[in-house]
Structure 1
């Protein structure tokens, strides 16, 4: 992996650390998106990976978009079609890649998650926050709108009214408010953040990977699918699950009152 993203693989868990702390880990104007896509492709090709953690080096999770890149796009030297292409070939590839990644992803939010940084956290399946974390959907303060899928993701996590409040005011909320609003599931002391995220990742990784991956797909599809269609998909996935050695071992272990032996 190259300069922005540090890739660490331990056991069944991969930790991706945004590693530009001097610039507060921006997601545009650099190689961030390309490196995330490379990492996601690497994860998809490695069946040993069962959970992923995303975090930031330094004091910030991610400051979002690069101000320098915004200045370049608004200079008058860049056409509207070029800006559209920049978004479609740049930051907009990231939510699609993370959304379609079958391995569960945990955002370990160590500090400010601003603009696209908040949206990156929302692209993950689970979010754990340090007490030092703050969250802001701050695009309107710069006279722009969420261009990276935040307008689709955020309401599905915190509800439309709270998403509207965050989006229309651009105001920041602290970790406690984020927990109250269900934006995160846990708030922990800063020095316990990665340990807590790792514990959660290991709990995910301990389960049969085929079942976890299909369960994630059902949750994702359920965000936009009709109930009858989701039930039909669930039936198909359940056929696959019932015929696995992991399922047979889990049932046997339950009946024999013992811990199941991992097979997958």
Structure 2
């Protein structure tokens, strides 16, 4: 049976009331990621206790995550993991089907009712950058280095990061960041909307805790309505979004009136 506190050898989970902290724990390899880790993240998100109000994603050590474990791209790959080279040698359709399962480790966090906060330090490259983008909010340390390096390998970001990236910074800047693979530092990340706030590394934990406390101070029902409402606003037509606004408000007003009565 899987240990709930360690659903993967390189992942730990800690619950404190309404807050769930999910930590990448392979600091010796800068929290390099593998497909089994993505599947574990997907399982965590899709089975999240509805009483959890805030999820914190973080990484141990100097880096949030240096991205895909490059050993995955060597012949034979990593023991116990999906053989990426063999997968690529099959049909394009089969590869796409396999990647769909990996993507859930990232995309599923947008669907949970809890607000997801990423605390990001050091390198967040490729899959690491995309995991940070899977969160609703990002607190970054001043040493942060964000980069999409997939294009340099002849690939594209494929773990759910393209949608959030374009939504946050716009098409032309997203294209430039991905095509060049350059690093985006803390100050630029805040300036272009990739991060909510940048703080000295030693203040990252405390600043994240302050943000979590502020989120928990908001009325639970309103916050649970707010996240999907704002997410749906991206790319939504005006009338559809107006319908969502009034429907959410109707539910909240009814709940307040019922409780008062």
Which bin holds the TM-score, normalised by the shorter protein? 0.7 to 0.9
* Corresponding residue SS for 2:62: coil
Q: Which residue of structure 2 lines up, in the alignment, with residue 21 of structure 1?
A: 27
Q: Deviations over 1:220-251 (max 9, x none)?
A: 111131111011011111111012249977xx
SS in structure 2 at match of 1:172:
coil
Distance of 1:211 and 1:76 partners within structure 2: 44
Q: TM-score, normalised by structure 2?
A: 0.87
- Distance in 2 (CA, whole Å) between partners of 1:204 and 1:26 is 30
Could you say if the C-alpha distance between residues 246 and 115 of structure 1 is closer, same or farther in structure 2, counting changes exceeding 3 Å?
A: farther
Change (3 A) 1:106 1:76: closer
Q: 2:205 aligns with which of 176, 194, 205?
A: 194
Q: 1:236 to 1:67 in 2, by over 3 A?
A: same
Give the equivalent residue in structure 2 for 1:51: 54
- Residue 232 of structure 1 is aligned with which of 243, 253, 257? 243
2:115 corresponds to 1:104: yes
Equivalent residue, structure 2, for 1:32: 37
**8 Å contact from structure 1 (residues 242, 248) kept in 2:** no
Going from structure 1 to structure 2, the CA distance change for 1:82 and 1:25 (only over 3 Å counts) comes to: farther
Other structure's SS at 1:244 match: helix
Change beyond 3 A, Cα 1:135–1:177: same
Q: CA deviation at 1:27?
A: 2.8
Task: Please name the residue that 2:65 is paired with.
Answer: 62
**Which of 201, 222, 229 is the aligned partner of 2:233?**
222
User: 1:142-191: per-residue Cα shift (whole Å, max 9, x none)?
Assistant: 11111112222211111222111101101112112212222111111111
CA separation in 2, counterparts of 1:201 and 1:74? 41
| Alignment partner of 2:99 out of 77, 87, 103 | 87
User: How many pairs are equivalent?
Assistant: 245
**Separation in 2, partners of 1:26, 1:160:** 28
- Superposed CA RMSD: 2.0
- 8 A Cα contact 2:39 2:104, kept in partner: no
Q: Tell me if 1:145 matches 2:156.
A: yes
State the 1:42 CA deviation: 4.0
Q: Decide which moves more: 232-241 or 60-69.
A: 60-69
